[in-house]
Amino acid sequence: MIKIVAKNYVKPGCAQTFIDTAKDLIRKSREEDGNVFYTLNVSKTNPDTLAFIECWKDQAAIEFHNKTEHFLTTLPKLAELCEREGEVELFDEL
Q: What is the pTM of this model?
A: 0.93
Q: How confident is the model at residue 62 (pLDDT cuts 50, 70, 90)?
A: very high
- Give the integer Cα–Cα distance in Å for 6 and 68: 17
Give the domains, in start order, of the chain with CATH numbers.
10-85 (3.30.70.100)
Statement: residue 61 has pLDDT above 90: yes
Q: CA-to-CA distance for 57 and 76, rounded, in angstroms? A: 25
* Tens-digit pLDDT profile for residues 71-87: 999 999 999 999 999 99
5-28 pLDDT, tens digit per residue, is: 999 999 999 999 999 999 999 999
